[in-house]
A and B are shown apart, each in its own frame.
Chain A
């Protein structure tokens, strides 16, 4: 087919769209069909497939029925393993059942998938394909997960566009019922699951027409039922298992033809035609690329262009990947082909080639000649797009160009620079297939300013309100505080196949002025393009405020330049910092995508639709913003020479280490794609303490210390989530050379008499969350609104305070032996966790930071996947840091579900090595000296002094070992450090501890080994966007609990206490910081398993994050969160091990609950249910309090013995 014909077809798509047109993303497209065509949906949240489950739950909660008029049951399970078990059970009992997952989640389903397929059960699993964690976790898309499941016996159907996601969801459902082979329907995570696109929505009639009801009845008839009982799932032996396994062959043999038959029926019913292998390109093609999913669209674009230029190329899009039909595949390929390149979006190290490549090779070996290929084509394979790496039409052309060569590279990579093993192909990044009549826009915004929601809205307006096609894709930050978003939008008259970012934009919107110094925002803008800037400087001043490089780019590209002060308007219209409507209006006013008046009317109409349900006030605020935006938008003329003296500063300072400059800094600057293979660590190992090199400057205001008012309580430092407010106590001599504005006062504590005290803020790292100011108890007596720290604008403080911070860091650290273990003194310990990317005001990180202050220099941390692994380990930079001696927390993340076991493994290795070291030391006693050896092996190491002494001994041991020439000495050298007590910590959220990891956690707690578990309990899956966990309190609204959680929170602490051998503490720093500190110290000191459950306020609670510590306090005061410590050592002393550390409930539960939107929103969505659940929750709180009180007052020891207890 000529390329021009394909284009005509693409335009034809629009004219033939008869059904409802919707602009939705891939997840919604899949979930729409899945929800309409199933009865039971069992899921577990995992990025990027979570929205499919969430949408299904929302639809069922809202009463939306499936095509047979009944509302599907949607249930959230404790893990994907659990979800697949429930799916298997529901299928066996005859329900039409589905699930959604990705990555590790799919791997957990594999055992059940074998069973489901082995039992010939029809079902469709919809997979937003995501990278499986190897050297690192990645939430982004590739096929490593689905390819790991290809031995299960599921059929694989691959969608390449959002329209196909909807179409194939239905085709898979229909085919599965007929074939009795279960289907895995997959599409690219993020690139497709999160790309918004205009598509035609299938109707209920379409679905009813496609699904044969007789087949559904047959499925039900096969179900387990006591009314016609059978046994399924026997255990078989060597005599018959093999034969029984071969019985399924006819079903697999028939499957491909059934799918094609269903596709043909779909073409008749709906009008869109698909083939198992769809070929596009020159009929006499000599070079053909075989590829699955969205990458096929980028290749298709390149093929269109190259065929127009006379090249003989083509693409075969693989739809049905399993069962792989060699016959259909070979039939799809032109006989003229000379070279085939199979592109795989996965890597299988050690294999003969990646999966699709191997299948293509095999197809030709097995059936090439028979199918009429006189000479076997050369077949090469290559990898592309791992972890959502861009795959563009330029890269596709790069592959076609390689195929022209006499000896094209095999097992190549495309899209990266592999300077280590030379696999990568060169390509011309300037090659473009973007059509002139497509409006291409890039918007830079902050997560908090509403840019993405505005753009999603614009896509809807254009997609649903006009004949144009629309596409949106959004790139998010890896940090949660001050996160940057980049939106890529395309609007055009025909189907958009560009499944890659916009690199040639005719419109760039920069919604934050400060980005001009951080990112190359004008890079994607084409000559003559339009540049819209949100600027606090008006049209007359703005030119002089632009960095020189920006001015030069504007002149060179002859940019049309517009400014608006959106923040000013937002303030005036009551929108606060949300500038979405304002910037959206400006975009429509100047981009020409729609006639202006029509666009404004459409925006207002959309505001009504979006906000109508949220109150008239919100609607008016937005309307007003639209009008004011138009009045305040200015085109700015500018000179033809750059005049600015402002230079863009380097991303990191010159003195940063090589790795930071060559790798970290490039990632920070958004240039990570250009980093070659040779620069990346080979095994996922990264240096510590690199967050300090990125000066993010995201705070508008920072705390300023008033040393005269300060009572030196240490609370501000304790609660700081980012380690940006610290104090030091030092000799006055250290003040020599202090910067002019450096503040210092006398230390107040009597132990520190004669020393100086400074509280210092890191101005460029502070997020401005204000938690510190909120908890500061010291008030200025003359003006009580002021405290000992007060928020002031950061801009003018940035320079002097940076200098002060540098000076502060150089002050000596306090000798740890001279510090009392209370909050006011122990906060002098250096945090070895700083400047993480957690949300501003995060409630988890203060606990993590405290852990590193107390034990960081000998801690090893196993971190469950979740928020804490993301702010702890997501690139670009590492917040865990080492002290001046080079010691600090060693950190790793294994999986979500196995974290307790992972940390337990740390303990086993450390204990083994400590034991081995002891054995060796004893063996070498004569050489080492008995005093040293006895000291080493008998060291108590109970407190800082004990640790210090052991450190000296270990150092001495190492010195001595240097002089001993023996195998044992060398062995001992390698394990000597293990003689110093290591603090093993297992960190994770409640999703891990209460749900997916509970079994393992329980086992580890029961083991008796010295492992410290810290549960950062937000009562919700925070990282994946607020899904209910078993820690979610009753009456709280969460995803999968839209009507308020109807059941109580699991009492994990109580469960752990039943062992009697586990140290358990429930803490809330905001309620009682000394108690938190005490619990950490006791847990670490306890020679056995410890569990600390830490109340962590969270953005997912819908709270004012500045006052998070107040919410913690209210939780405790209301009795919702009793504080306690359970120490088995006390029981050994004959005392009651349980100490209740908070008072009986003294404020009504609702006073706590209704501070938080998670509870309050139920009073707005379902007031009656809110009242009912509140009443039950109140009874529960009181009952639990009484139970604890009773337990804490029980008599232990001899008395209870007498009682016979």
Chain B
């Protein structure tokens, strides 16, 4: 019997395939189907505190704009007794997801205010989430903001969330730290149960016809996995936190590589959006075939086997890698 099980942040999973935060999780049917197809855990789409704030203000604006100005139309909308302006819908969705599937459900949070991070984290935990992923990102566009400040902010958020919840907490980080390994260590020390490598940002484009900047999401290509692959390999064994790989994981081969680099789990997103939820089954099947062929009876055996510490040629993961590649090419 082939053993695909793994442990992520202390949670036993039937295999290392986890659904990465994506709009697919907004639909309960998708969640059910993903479980049926074999996914081991689901990270929900993110709860964005800023969006909730924005929507609250927007609603407030539209309900008051133009009112009390003209005698015949002192208001324009009926005023219902209550609005769900907070995260209720999201929390209810987590509850519903928990009730329809038996695999772990991981909440995802993008806070905005200090209070928001901890408050929403608690509520996600109360809603029944098995773990929480902190979707922290800042685009430090202001030239006065230093790297140290950004790092401190990350750590503060992590620490405050950790003290307010008892479920495992992962941090989804961006790759733009000047000292990635050090930052990972600091997060590890601050109590991160998992590090998710890496967050991807919207990448704006320019519309030449209309001279407009178009913010949009590009789905990841398989090339994107190289970046997390390297850092998982480097960090493996240096941090206590579980490592999760995300970005560009499309095939069984990609999953196997990430596991060997040291990932506890691999997260799928773009490939499911592009090729459908059915891909999960294919990836799992292909993994089994490869493992059988190469005589691996469990994935524990391969986890970290190709990491920086354990691989034959660790320098390949270091900066020299680039130099050598060039040399060889010449």
Contact = CB atoms under 8 A, between A and B. Distances in A.
A1157 B77 contact: yes
A447 B71 contact: no
A1025 B75 contact: yes
B324 interface: no
B76 A1164 contact: no
B86 A615 contact: yes
A574 B53 CA distance: 12
B80 to A, nearest CB: 4
A1099 B76 contact: yes
Contacts of A574: 57
Majority secondary structure, B binding face:
loop
Contacts of A1167: 84, 89
A57 B78 contact: yes
Contacts of B212: 784
Contacts of B60: 611, 614-615, 618
B76 A614 contact: no
Which of A54, A447, A576, A870 has the most chain B CB atoms inside 10 A of its CB?
Answer: A447
Interface residues of B, number: 37
A485 interface: yes
B77 A1164 contact: no
B80 A47 contact: no
A410 interface: no
A447 B75 CA distance: 11
Contacts of A1024: 72-73
A139 interface: yes
A476 B67 CA distance: 11
Given A139-B72, A447-B69, A615-B52, 12 more contacts: A48-B72, A58-B78, A453-B67, A453-B68, A483-B70, A613-B81, A614-B85, A1024-B73, A1099-B66, A1100-B73, A1164-B59, A1167-B84
Contact of A47 (B65, B72, B82, B211): B72
Contact of B81 (A51, A62, A1040): A62
Given A453-B64, A1026-B76, A1102-B76, A618 B71 contact: no
Contacts of B123: none
B77 A1158 contact: yes
A613 B82 contact: yes
A1024 B70 CA distance: 9
A617 B73 contact: no
Contacts of A483: 69-70
A1022 B75 CA distance: 10
Given A453-B64, A1039-B78, A1164-B85, A480 B56 contact: no
A450 B74 CA distance: 12
6 contacts: A447-B70, A450-B68, A476-B68, A485-B69, A1022-B73, A1100-B77
A633 interface: no
B202 interface: no
A615 B76 contact: no
Contacts of B61: 576
Interface in B66-112: 66-86, 89
B78 A139 contact: no
B226 interface: no
Interface of B: 52-53, 55-86, 89, 211-212
Contacts of A54: 78
A1164 B84 contact: yes
A1140 B80 CA distance: 39
A1066 to B, nearest CB: 24
Interface string A908-928: 000000000000000000000
Interface string A651-682: 00000000000000000000000000000000
Nearest to B86: A615
A450 B64 contact: yes
Contacts of B73: 1022-1026, 1100
Contacts of B80: 61-62, 1042, 1161, 1165-1166
A479 B72 CA distance: 11
Contacts of A617: 53, 56-57
Contact of A476 (B55, B59, B71, B83): B71
B194 to A, nearest CB: 30
A1023 B211 CA distance: 39
A1102 B65 CA distance: 8
B82 A1157 contact: no
Contacts of B66: 447-448, 480, 839, 1099-1100
Contacts of A48: 71-72
Among A190, A451, A453, A1165, the most chain B Cβ lie within 10 Å of the Cβ of: A1165
A990 to B, nearest CB: 15
Contact of B69 (A61, A448, A618): A448
Contacts of B77: 1026, 1037-1039, 1100, 1102, 1157-1158, 1161
A450 B68 CA distance: 7
Q: Which of under 10, 10 to 19, 20 to 34, or 35 or more describes the interface residues of A?
A: 35 or more
A779 interface: yes
Interface in A444-462: 446-448, 450-453
A612 to B, nearest CB: 10
A818 B152 CA distance: 70
Which of A453, A615, A839, A1038 is most buried by chain B, counting CB atoms within 10 A of its CB?
A: A615
List the 9 shortest-distance A-B pairs measured between CB atoms, nearest first.
Answer: A447-B69, A1102-B62, A1025-B73, A1157-B62, A615-B56, A452-B68, A1026-B76, A1042-B78, A476-B71
A1073 B81 CA distance: 41
A869 B214 CA distance: 42
A1163 B149 CA distance: 38
A477 interface: yes
A578 interface: yes
B63 A1157 contact: yes
A1041 B58 CA distance: 21
Nearest to A63: B81
Contacts of A1161: 59, 62-63, 77, 80, 83
B231 to A, nearest CB: 37
Contacts of A1038: 77-78
A480 B53 CA distance: 30
A139 B71 contact: yes
Contact of B55 (A448, A613, A1164): A1164
Q: Which of B55, B59, B72 has the most CB of A within 10 A?
A: B72
Nearest to B70: A480
A1039 B57 CA distance: 21
A58 B77 CA distance: 11
A1025 B72 contact: yes
B95 to A, nearest CB: 14
| Most-contacted residue by chain A among B83, B84, B212 (CB, 10 A) | B83
Interface string A437-448: 000000000111
Contacts of B67: 447, 453
Contacts of A453: 64, 67-68
A451 B67 CA distance: 11
A477 B59 contact: no
Contacts of A474: 68
Interface string A576-609: 1010000000000000000000000000000000
A61 B78 contact: yes
Contacts of A451: 68
Contacts of A1022: 73, 76
A377 B80 CA distance: 57
B69 A614 contact: no
Interface in A756-801: 779, 781, 784
B22 to A, nearest CB: 18
A101 B211 CA distance: 54
B76 A1025 contact: yes
A471 B85 CA distance: 34
Contacts of A1042: 78, 80
Q: Which of A1022, A1023, A1102 has the most CB of B within 10 A?
A: A1102
Contacts of B74: 51, 1025
Interface centre among B57, B58, B70, B74 (most CB of A within 10 A): B70
Contacts of B71: 47-48, 139, 190, 194, 476
